[in-house]
Amino acid sequence: MILTPESVLAEGGQIAKRLKHYESRPQQLRMAEAVAEAIAEKKHLIVEAGTGVGKSFAYLVPAILAIAEAQECAPDDDRRRLRVIVSTHTISLQEQLVQRDIPFLNSVLPVEFTAVLVKGRSNYLSLRRLKGAMERANSMFADPEEVAELEKIAAWAQTTTDGSLSDLPFRPRGAVWDEVHSERGNCLGKKCATYEQCFYYLARRRIWNADLLIVNHALFFSDLALRREDASILPDYDVVILDEAHTLEAVAGEHLGLSLTTGQIDYQLNKLYNDRTQRGLLLHHKFDQTQREVLRVRDVATDFFEELQTWCQQHASSNGRVRTPPQVENNLTPALRTLARHVAENALDLDAEEDRVEMQAAAERCAGLAETLDAWLTQRDDDSVYWLEQSGQKRRRLRLVCAPIDVGPVLRDELFNSTDTVILTSATLAVGRDNFDFFKSRIGLTGANELKLGSPFNYREQAKLIIAERMPDPGESPEEFEARVCEKIQKYVGQSQGRAFVLFTSYRMMTNCAARLTPWLAAQRLTLYCQADGMPRTTMLEKFRKEPRAVLFGTDSFWQGVDVPGEALQTVVITKLPFSVPDQPLLEARVEAIRQRGGNPFMEYQLPEAIIKLKQGFGRLIRRRTDTGQVVILDPRIRTKRYGRLFLESLPECELVIDTD
């Protein structure tokens, strides 16, 4: 029997034979056929598939069938095997693939394939480092709780078969896990006495022998960055499937740039020698002279960052952007390099190989910090934007950031031109009815098949879109607009008796509205969960789902990747059209780059980006065939501005109600 996507996904197919109430979806089958064609013809493919299409089966089925076909054609030739990467942005989708979708397809499809979840190296316990940490515990950890956690990890190491952080029954402190996890610069490879039992290398062998690898975008783009330096985390692959692809530009930019914090330097120096707690690697081995060197570097770092902060206050933009290399004497980079050299020399004086490796790794980390600092200060890359972020008490915590203004050229060279097939899919990629130009331009993709598929859900019956008229313009009258927004929130949240998301584009406006509405919400016996209160997002969502009269106020992270099906969510209120804040350094640089080449930044970048984000926010409402509810847009510009029709054209067709109150 020759298997095709249709024979698996259609009525009467392999899945229908297993699931009694299975309903074939034509959109899912069309997507699966397009994916199969792209893999067979070694082409790239962009697919926007609305909520409910079943994207994961639509790309997994043809990918698995292609893997099986390659095995049949060359069963004994490993060079002819087909390896597929599936990358997601959110943990929830990754868990769905690994725990539900792939095991189900493995049981249904009469073909052989192996699938593995790929985790970053630092997720795995190093047995050799654990042994060394146990021996050094009293000189490394000042807090007895940290020593207790280390002992718990040692006990767990005796029973775990996975050896990864997710398998550990508690969440250890970062300082404890940092001493025991597997680390690239702190590894003996095959020379290690625990190599055969090493959890990381056991996982790596599974990865290198697998056909289908599940990763997240952060790991995928970290690997892509390493490949530019002739290294890698992942084995070579033939097909990449990037789900939740609307996040690609942001994630790629983050991992193709660089970042350095004052906290990183403090942490590394304290690991070597902390004079306050009298703990550290150098103290354990009694390298007194290098301990004094650490104290000197700490003083240099304090003076340097104070001087850098002062210079930036006088010369950087109000948003922290540093447009020219700071005119600050960089005596910290040579101090770190000198320290790294002395620590490396100390390593040579140690007898135990374990101690030498640990000390050498510390030296390399110091050298790496020096290199990153020098790269940021000299602004080596003309095509990147540089900025400084300040936080904490008296704004003493600094973060030095660099990101590429345009990730397109890198992705074009390193991904699209180097990989046979790249499948990019999401529920929100097109602007207007079926225009993918914005998405392609931002990620550097020039040639690809394109497919836009609507949702199988009946939005006309399930969803109502309410647009508020006679609202003040948020740009012209922000205070009056905010007051009217609170009135409308009362109206629509009251209608659904809670069970509502209220999505904001501004943290300040969210906190103001929460303060204004708290008395009213209390009087209505409605529970408010506000992102400003500091509760973790997953905890907020769990509580919201369980509370029958709950209202959730959220900003950026709640516009996407949040799934609350059923009656728990009946109303989504969108306070403003989600245009990005124009003074954020990276956005500012991208706008300037478009303007410099004669383009229109608003029409080419800010507007399409906002449309895609609005589609994400709208998509929080209807998650299942049985869901119903209303989306309320309070920003009058969707009706008063010419560009407003592009927002409306991009949303699913549903009942439109104009609120003229």
Split at pLDDT 50, 70, 90, the class of 74 is low
- Share the mean pLDDT of the chain: 93
Extents of the domains making up the chain: 23-114+210-252+407-453, 122-194, 257-404, 459-659
- Tens of pLDDT, residues 539-569: 999 999 999 999 999 999 899 988 898 899 9
SS3 percent helix, strand, coil of the chain, rounded to 5, is 55, 15, 30
Superfamily assignment of 23-114+210-252+407-453 in CATH? P-loop containing nucleotide triphosphate hydrolases (3.40.50.300)
Q: Look at residue 80 in the predicted model and tell me its pLDDT.
A: 66
Q: What percent of the chain has pLDDT over 90?
A: 80
**In CATH, what number does 257-404 get?**
1.20.120
Cβ atoms of 388 and 316 closer than 8 Å: yes
Q: Look at residue 1 in the predicted model and tell me its pLDDT.
A: 66
The CA-to-CA distance between both ends of the chain, in Å, stands at 63
- Tens of pLDDT, residues 391-445: 887 778 999 999 999 999 999 999 999 999 999 999 999 998 778 999 999 999 9
99-110 burial: b if 16+ Cβ within 10 Å, else e: eebbeebeebbe
CA gap 591, 600 in Å, rounded: 8
- Tens of pLDDT, residues 617-630: 999 999 999 999 99
Helices (H), 496-618: 507-523, 537-546, 585-596, 601, 607-618
- Tens of pLDDT, residues 600-656: 999 999 999 999 999 999 999 999 999 999 999 999 999 999 999 999 999 999 999
Among the ranges given (65-69, 385-389, 393-397), the one the predictor scored with the smallest mean pLDDT: 393-397
Cβ atoms of 372 and 388 closer than 8 Å: no
> Taking the CA atoms of the chain, what radius of gyration do you get in angstroms?
27
Cβ atoms of 61 and 15 closer than 8 Å: no
pTM: 0.91
CA gap 634, 246 in Å, rounded: 25
CA gap 609, 602 in Å, rounded: 10
The reply to whether 459-659 shares the fold of 23-114+210-252+407-453 is yes
Stretch 303-316: mean pLDDT? 95
User: Could you tell me which of 80, 146, 385 has the C-alpha nearest to residue 253?
Assistant: 385
Q: Look at residue 77 in the predicted model and tell me its pLDDT.
A: 63
Q: How many CB atoms lie within 10 A of CB 562?
A: 23
**In CATH, what number does 459-659 get?**
3.40.50.300
